[in-house]
Amino acid sequence: MASTGASALVATHFYGAGVLGRYKELNPTAFAAVVLTDYVPHPIGIPPNLDLYVVADEAAAEVVAGLGVPDKVIHPTGIPIDPAFEEPADVRGIRTEILGLSADDTEDDLPVVLVMGGGLGSGTLERTVLALFRASTAMHLAVLCGANELARKHLQRIYRRRGRSATILSFTDRVRDLMAAATVLVTKPGGMTCTEALARGLPQVLYHPIPGNEEDNAAAMVRYNAGVMVNNTSQILGETLKILTSRRHREGLKEAARSAHRPGSAMAAARLILDGST
């Protein structure tokens, strides 16, 4: 730390947290913190000797405390996300600019279903989109393929061949805007994505979690009543249509998401780190 001038070391992944615990053993005066970005802490990411633990909620705080960490250094201020997800958005402008929908478009008033498959755009993404395709005339699909350029091109060919329209993108910095315009999010349950959806009050249909952390994230969203978890791809369309067609179900999920969200999580984490390291 002396060579860089840094006053704090912060890990945001459980692998890094484990390494940081060992560093703290060798350098006990260094300020070391972990900011957990999943909803259920993994023991490997909770070395008991750090100075600060920022976690998603009280349930996560209990898990960390159960691993031998003192309560006074555990802070359930929420998973830090970009504050922009908490700000109002120009939904009409987003539908026109990003989704290509205009007042003269026959799909202009269709609900937007946003589909995300993680940064790598996993192979299950294509199966998910094709499951929704059967009812694509009732919705406008916006699909984020991440780094999977082959999936993007393949899905575009399918839609063009069948005369349907959709917005199919690779990496984009407009996730906040797309979430603002969406009625439903169909996604793999990454911790950051789930938290961003909570901030937007966006109902979630969660599919194909990676065993471990993503399964725990999905369980947390279900516990909050902010989303539903499907066991196989064939259930995705039905759960999505239920949210689109049942106002009571949809509003219940939205309200639960807003209640579960912890505003200002990034600023809270930053204050805790700065206050602790000075």
pLDDT, averaged in runs of 10, over the chain (278 residues):
78 89 94 95 91 97 96 97 96 92 71 82 76 89 86 84 83 94 96 97 94 93 98 94 97 98 97 92
Q: Which two tokens stand for residue 134?
A: 């059967």
Any idea where the domains of the chain sit in the sequence?
9-78+264-277, 83-260
pLDDT score of 149: 82
**Which of 8, 13, 44 minimizes the C-alpha distance to 276?**
8
**Which of 108, 41, 115 minimizes the C-alpha distance to 79?**
41
Helices (H) then strands (E): counts for the chain: 11, 10
pLDDT score of 234: 92
CATH code of domain 83-260: 3.40.50.2000
pLDDT score of 239: 97
Q: Which two tokens stand for residue 121?
A: 């755009």
pLDDT score of 2: 55
Q: What DSSP element (H or E) covers 230? A: none
Whether the predicted model's global pTM rises above the 0.75 cut: yes
Burial readout 63-98 (b: 16 or more C-beta within 10 A, e: otherwise): bbbeeebeeebbbbbbbbbeeebbeebeeeebbbeb
pLDDT score of 272: 97
Cα distances (angstroms) measured from residue 39 to each of 34, 152, 212, 220: 14, 30, 11, 7
Q: Which two tokens stand for residue 187?
A: 């996604």
